[in-house]
Amino acid sequence: MERRKFIKKASLTSLAALIGTEIVFGSNMLKDYKPLALQENDPFKLFNLDNEMVILNDKPWNIEAKAHLLNDNITPNSKMFIRNNGVIPEDINEKTWTLTIDGESVKNKKTYTLNELKSKFKQHTYQLTLECGGNGRSEFDPPAKGNQWTVGAVSCATWTGVRLKDVLEDVGIKNDAVYIGYNAADTHLSGDATKEPISRGAPMRKALEDETLIAFKMNGKKIPISHGFPLRLVAGGWPASVSGKWINRISVRNKEHDGTKMTGTAYRVPKNPVSPGEKVKDEDMKIIESMPVKSLITSPQSGAIIKKGAALKINGHAWAGDLQVSKMEYSIDFGSTWTQCEINKPVNRLAWQHFNATINFPKVGYYEIWARATDSNNMAQPMLLPGWNPKGYLNNACHRIAVKVK
């Protein structure tokens, strides 16, 4: 008879992290036993999410917020979208976790433990906007394959870590460096260990920005497993796919990084406008860099009933990739006329900005409130859908909510 195999300590630790507390007699669990709390596979318990979050996919987990859930200035963990390309790694042990910096353009390849990173380099904290390149995909026609994000694949949390540029300075960068690329511990959905779910990166100018972090804290605590514990890259303002979760390696490349999902239609859009449904050649596509200007009305919730004669306060956030939002407006007449909102300066570069306005409606009836942000280069959001592209990226159309005055 086969000997009973008990669960390994490392697995126990990550199971406990998923459940959110110690499994007291966990060492008695057989190797393949799955605790009931996880058998139910309830993502709300699993990831401690707000129960209004919307599951788009469970293999892999892809979960988005609704607009009104994002009303906080700083996105709490429970309301932060989750986007995975593969399987969340198990057996994460922060004591033995390392980050290797290598690549053709590194002078001295080095491997750091988490403690070395934390003690050797100065720590910085920023609020950083992360939006999935595919946020808004559900509106494109013909539809694009992939998760049908509506508006909720965006967040602005507080991230703490060390600057990638300080670490790169420590290893020394050769003159021919053009790009960094990350590798991470998540695994391919097929189970094929030779395949990676994703390995993206950014050109040196983004890698070397002050706000580009190798982060180990989110909202003041250890990063939740679903968001990249114990270590993730955070490059605010760019498609969030650049912000690699569970990273164990960053390579400094002497060419554009060619990892999984850097080529073809992945996170790339046509260089020139194409007609909907058109096939686009590889060489006519370009990598998405800074995200376009966009905004979200987070209060009231669409469908609100307003009392006749009462003024309505609206609130929301606006962001503009690497740029700032310089103007925020709303319209209640389907975009014929626009009125300015009040908008704050960002807390730091690449943090989203908060706006508000007080609206008086002329009479009872149905209205739509449309919100439009303009960036510091004077580019405004399109009122409706922007240019079609094969994978349905970069939909920055004006957010619209419906209200009734009764």
Ligand X SMILES: Nc1nc2c(c(=O)[nH]1)N[C@H]1C(S)=C(S)[C@@H](COP(=O)(O)O)O[C@H]1N2
**Contact set with Mo ion (CB under 5 A):** 83, 132, 240-241
The residue range among 82-90, 209-217, 303-311, 378-386 that interacts with ligand X, by the rule CB under 6 A, is: 82-90
Q: Is residue 85 near ligand X by the rule CB under 6 A?
A: yes
Backbone CA torsion sign across 286, 290, 293, 295:
positive
- How far, in Å, CA of 193 to CA of 392, rounded? 29
Min dist CB 315 to ligand X, Å, is 22
The two tokens of residue 133 are: 């390149």
Q: Which of residues 236-265 bind ligand X (CB under 6 A)?
A: 240-241, 243-246
The two tokens of residue 243 are: 């912000």
Min dist CB 153 to ligand X, Å, is 6
Q: Which among Mo ion, ligand X, none contacts residue 243 (Cβ within 5 to 8 A by kind)?
A: ligand X
Q: Which among Mo ion, ligand X, none contacts residue 89 (Cβ within 5 to 8 A by kind)?
A: none
The two tokens of residue 61 are: 């987990």
Name the pairing type of β-strands 304-306 and 353-359: unpaired
- How far, in Å, CA of 286 to CA of 267, rounded? 9
CA atoms within 13 A on the CB side of 93: 8
Q: Which of 60, 63, 59, 56 is nearest to 77 (CA)?
A: 63
Q: Which among Mo ion, ligand X, none contacts residue 388 (Cβ within 5 to 8 A by kind)?
A: none
Q: Which of residues 101-160 bind ligand X (CB under 6 A)?
A: 132, 155
Q: Which residue has the tokens 């609704």?
A: 66
Min dist CB 300 to ligand X, Å, is 25
Min dist CB 291 to Mo ion, Å, is 11
The two tokens of residue 6 are: 């008990």
Which of 76, 197, 270, 382 binds ligand X (CB under 6 A)? It is 197
Min dist CB 137 to ligand X, Å, is 12
Question: Could you give the residue ranges of the DSSP H alpha helices within 162-220?
Answer: 164-171, 204-207
Residue 71 CB coordination number (10 Å): 18
Q: Which among ligand X, Mo ion, none contacts residue 216 (Cβ within 5 to 8 A by kind)?
A: none
Q: Which is nearer to ligand X, 158 or 241 (CB)?
A: 241
Q: Is residue 186 near ligand X by the rule CB under 6 A?
A: yes
The residue range among 5-13, 79-87, 289-297, 361-369 that interacts with ligand X, by the rule CB under 6 A, is: 79-87
3-state SS string for 229-254: CCCEEECCCCEHHHCCCCEEEEEEEC
Are 383 and 344 spatial neighbours (Cβ–Cβ below 8 Å)? no
Q: Is residue 355 near ligand X by the rule CB under 6 A?
A: no
Q: Which is nearer to ligand X, 160 or 331 (CB)?
A: 160
Residue 37 CB coordination number (10 Å): 16
Q: Which is nearer to ligand X, 71 or 85 (CB)?
A: 85
Min dist CB 200 to ligand X, Å, is 8
DSSP assignment of 106-143: BSS-EEEEHHHHHHHS-EEEEEEEEE-TTTTGGG-SSP
Q: Which among Mo ion, ligand X, none contacts residue 245 (Cβ within 5 to 8 A by kind)?
A: ligand X
Q: Which is nearer to Mo ion, 147 or 381 (CB)?
A: 147
Which of 79, 83, 354, 391 binds ligand X (CB under 6 A)? It is 83
**Interface residues with ligand X (CB under 6 A)?**
80-86, 132, 155, 184, 186, 197-198, 227, 240-241, 243-246
